[in-house]
Structure 1
Amino acid sequence: MPLALLALAISAFGIGTTEFVINGLLPELAADFGVSIPTAGLLVSGYALGVVVGAPLLTMLGTRFSRKTMLLALMVVFIVGNLLCALAPGYGSLMAGRVVAAFAHGAYFGIGSVVAADLVAPEKRASAIALMFTGLTLANVLGVPLGTAVGQNLGWRATFWIVTAIGVAGLAGVAALVPAQPRPTGQSLRREFAAFRSGQVWLALLMTTLGFAPVFTVITFVAPMITEVAGLPAGSVPLLMALFGVGVVIGNLLGGRLADRALSASLYFSVGGLTVLAALLTFTAHGQIAFIVTLALFGVAGFATVPPLQTRVLDAAAGAPMLASAANIAAFNLANTLGSFAGGLVIQGGLGYTAPAWAAALLGLAGLAVVALSVRGIGRERVLAAEAV
């Protein structure tokens, strides 16, 4: 694989770390700024909103530039956002820095997916995308725990200074290793929007939203499932989350390989496996060893969905993939919001701490239905292409 993928992965590692590390620093931030934990928690929601808004907006602005130029510009935005966080004198300015950094997130992964796919042969596109996303998955295993430890011992500002430095390293890597690419012939905002006339593009976005939502339906509320249902000690939560993170890394790479071999089959396998494992968690949560094994496999299946889902939207928007690719990153974040909302809803309804697993399985079934519709579309595309030859 090209070294340019390493540069893309380093930047992805920094972006993933700044997105998730805030969760472990909420008590310190709340105490420092004199706000409640729920108010501090809005820094998570603010970031997600920034991703949803920034992904299509910055991608649209970037249609006038080459993809490498856009990646460099987005890393500068990311660095500036984290500098604002590190220097923030108050809660409002910290929120502003988070939103600025988030603006780079969706567009970077959207454009980066297109660049990664173009760096390799067509039959290796999904694996290339998976390697870029490995930076994001490693952020959960390494970046977030280390960033949390640094923030707790040296102050939360130190964490943002480190993330800023990672961003600078990613910027330098993109500048040095990603080959200069001329602005694609015919690239224009009108053409990018035209891709959304395809029903397959909208199916791909819906498939991402429903097919990935089960991950956050479960993981948002996995801590009480661990302690209250499985009966494991509270100290085991970080260890099990790390185990889940290892499964995420494995699943991401596995999903890339499977998608390169058979995209349609990989969509069924990953979304279907995620659905089955979500349902199994309802039962295995009552047995400690079975629960631990199922949770690890849930991590594998959860991120095995990412490369095929991202590859499918690139296929559906062939010829004008940048905006659709960025929109799919926004769809992943919409899935996070939908999943956590669904999980909270069933718990508030008095259905217990295993109820999010059932809610996740139902969302997964809906995702599978969309997969079936999309795969039928893939079949029709192939027939039409064969008839045109």
Structure 2
Amino acid sequence: MNTTTAPPQKPATHRHGWAGVVSLSLGVFALVMAEFLPASLLPYIADDLGVTPGATGQAVTMTAVTAGFAGLLLPVALPRFDRRHLMLVLTAGAIVSNLLVAVAPHLGVLLAARALLGVALGGFWALAIAVTAHLVPRDHLGRAVTVVNSGVALATIAAVPLGTWLGELWGWRPVFLAAATVATLALVVQAATLPTIASRTAGGLRALRSTMRSGFLLAGLLAILLIAAGQFTGYTYIRPAIESLPAIDAGGIAVLLLIYGIANVIGTALSGILADRALRIATLVFPAALGAGMLALTFTAGSIPALVISVALWGFGFGGVPTTAQTWGARVEPQRLEPVGGLIVTAFQIAIALGAVVGGLLLDNIAPTSPLIAGSIVTIAGALLLTSLRRRRG
């Protein structure tokens, strides 16, 4: 019995198709940038609110937890809701969240605002693949997903290095006001370019339950969770780790993080091509590079060339992970893009939450570089699992 899919719709053929894809990329940029701004502003937020850096890092955890639930439940809870309107509402939620963070008097208000951001982020990213599939022809989907995910890569540049620099110039609160401005721009562009988009998934929760009956899919989701958990165990606390290395000042940290972001963009740009042509190779190459770079950074002993290479390798590796994971899911369940998109988002957000919690404990109780060592091991384990699943299936 198959009650999980509706008849496929023709993709948008007018010029707004690719413009809509760009607007989704801008929305992802605004949301992901806001999600990881605390990673660049930990010392400032902690000092202002009178809490430890590890506690402040739970602002990332809160966003990740709510994003996981939203990504899983929003698409199936609103099966007939116009996806254009839903994307606009979610982007507006990001604006409100950033404004609340900017005026938060204590950690409780900040965490509540970050929970709202999680709802916006989880719902938006879960729907992004299905909405993109409506906007472009099927044979251009890989390239379109890469365009959308370029928002993640560009947000990596903006969130940590730019956040670090602006935080020193302005203080942390104006940085979140700037994030609200970026989200407002994304909302305007989406309103101008996204057409009416009916859901392709019928059956609501039944579609989700049916998708989750696939043991192969669940094993792949576990592998994706491990890869992402390893990444965010280290990345959430990348600034304290780099600060602990000798001969690195605040300016050097900003440069290294910028190098990470540029390498991330390169990895994102190449990921769509490699995933389309050799998905099994992509599922190993990008996470392996991520883990190797993370681990190598802990053994640089302050060598500037070694630091640059390690950070670039790390950024390049993670740049390819989102597109690779989404392409893998789309190939496993091509007729259930919304449930699969929601499950992948949930896996990522659970991983982000676990990474923030475990990394914070390692940071506060062992050493600044311990989150990187643990993260590299977990990431490579996930890559090996996902790659082996592709081999067995083949």
Report the CA distance between 1:81 and its aligned residue: 2.5
CA distance, structure 2, for counterparts of residue 256 and residue 123 of structure 1: 12
Residue of structure 2 in register with 1:57 after alignment? 73
Amino acid paired to 1:296: A
Report the CA distance between 1:39 and its aligned residue: 4.3
- SS of the aligned residue for 1:70 comes to helix
From the superposition, tell whether residues 296 and 181 of structure 1 become closer, same or farther in structure 2 (CA, over 3 Å): same
CA distance, structure 2, for counterparts of residue 38 and residue 353 of structure 1: 11
From the superposition, tell whether residues 285 and 296 of structure 1 become closer, same or farther in structure 2 (CA, over 3 Å): farther
From the superposition, tell whether residues 254 and 25 of structure 1 become closer, same or farther in structure 2 (CA, over 3 Å): same
Question: How many equivalent residue pairs?
Answer: 378
- SS of the aligned residue for 1:313 comes to helix
Report the CA distance between 1:64 and its aligned residue: 2.6
Q: Which has the higher helix share?
A: 1
From the superposition, tell whether residues 248 and 319 of structure 1 become closer, same or farther in structure 2 (CA, over 3 Å): same
Residue of structure 1 in register with 2:390 after alignment? 375
CA distance, structure 1, for counterparts of residue 198 and residue 391 of structure 2: 35
Report the CA distance between 1:299 and its aligned residue: 0.8
Residue of structure 2 in register with 1:246 after alignment? 262
Q: Deviations over 1:110-148 (max 9, x none)?
A: 101222244334343233222112122212213554455
Report the CA distance between 1:296 and its aligned residue: 0.7
From the superposition, tell whether residues 121 and 207 of structure 1 become closer, same or farther in structure 2 (CA, over 3 Å): farther
Q: Which has the higher contact order (CA 8 A, sep 6+)?
A: 2
2:94/2:116 contact within 8 Å kept: yes
CA distance, structure 2, for counterparts of residue 219 and residue 295 of structure 1: 11
1:59/1:326 contact within 8 Å kept: yes
1:229/1:285 contact within 8 Å kept: yes
CA distance, structure 2, for counterparts of residue 43 and residue 368 of structure 1: 28
From the superposition, tell whether residues 320 and 353 of structure 1 become closer, same or farther in structure 2 (CA, over 3 Å): same
Q: Which of 33, 39, 64 is 1:48 aligned to?
A: 64
- SS of the aligned residue for 1:142 comes to helix
1:210/1:363 contact within 8 Å kept: yes
Q: Deviations over 1:199-243 (max 9, x none)?
A: 122122112111233323443454455454564445412211111
Moved more, 301-310 or 40-49: 40-49
Map 1:1-389 onto structure 2 (within 5 A).
Answer: 2-30=18-46, 32-35=48-51, 37-88=53-104, 90-147=106-163, 149-150=165-166, 153-154=169-170, 156-184=172-200, 186=202, 188-223=204-239, 225-229=241-245, 231-233=247-249, 235-281=251-297, 283-285=299-301, 287-339=303-355, 356-376=371-391, 378-379=393-394
TM-score when normalising by structure 1: 0.84
Structure 2 residue runs of 5 or longer lacking an equivalent are 1-16
Amino acid paired to 1:76: A
Q: Deviations over 1:168-194 (max 9, x none)?
A: 221222222123223326353312331
- SS of the aligned residue for 1:64 comes to coil
Residue of structure 2 in register with 1:387 after alignment? none
CA distance, structure 1, for counterparts of residue 240 and residue 94 of structure 2: 34
1:127/1:253 contact within 8 Å kept: no
Report the CA distance between 1:89 and its aligned residue: 5.2
CA distance, structure 2, for counterparts of residue 35 and residue 286 of structure 1: 30
Residue of structure 2 in register with 1:383 after alignment? none
1:141/1:246 contact within 8 Å kept: yes
1:140/1:245 contact within 8 Å kept: yes
- SS of the aligned residue for 2:18 comes to coil
From the superposition, tell whether residues 147 and 356 of structure 1 become closer, same or farther in structure 2 (CA, over 3 Å): closer
1:79/1:164 contact within 8 Å kept: yes
TM-score when normalising by structure 2: 0.83
Structure 1 residue runs of 5 or longer lacking an equivalent are 380-389
Residue of structure 2 in register with 1:382 after alignment? none
Report the CA distance between 1:375 and its aligned residue: 0.6
CA distance, structure 1, for counterparts of residue 48 and residue 293 of structure 2: 40
Moved more, 352-361 or 188-197: 352-361
- SS of the aligned residue for 1:63 comes to coil
CA distance, structure 2, for counterparts of residue 318 and residue 24 of structure 1: 37
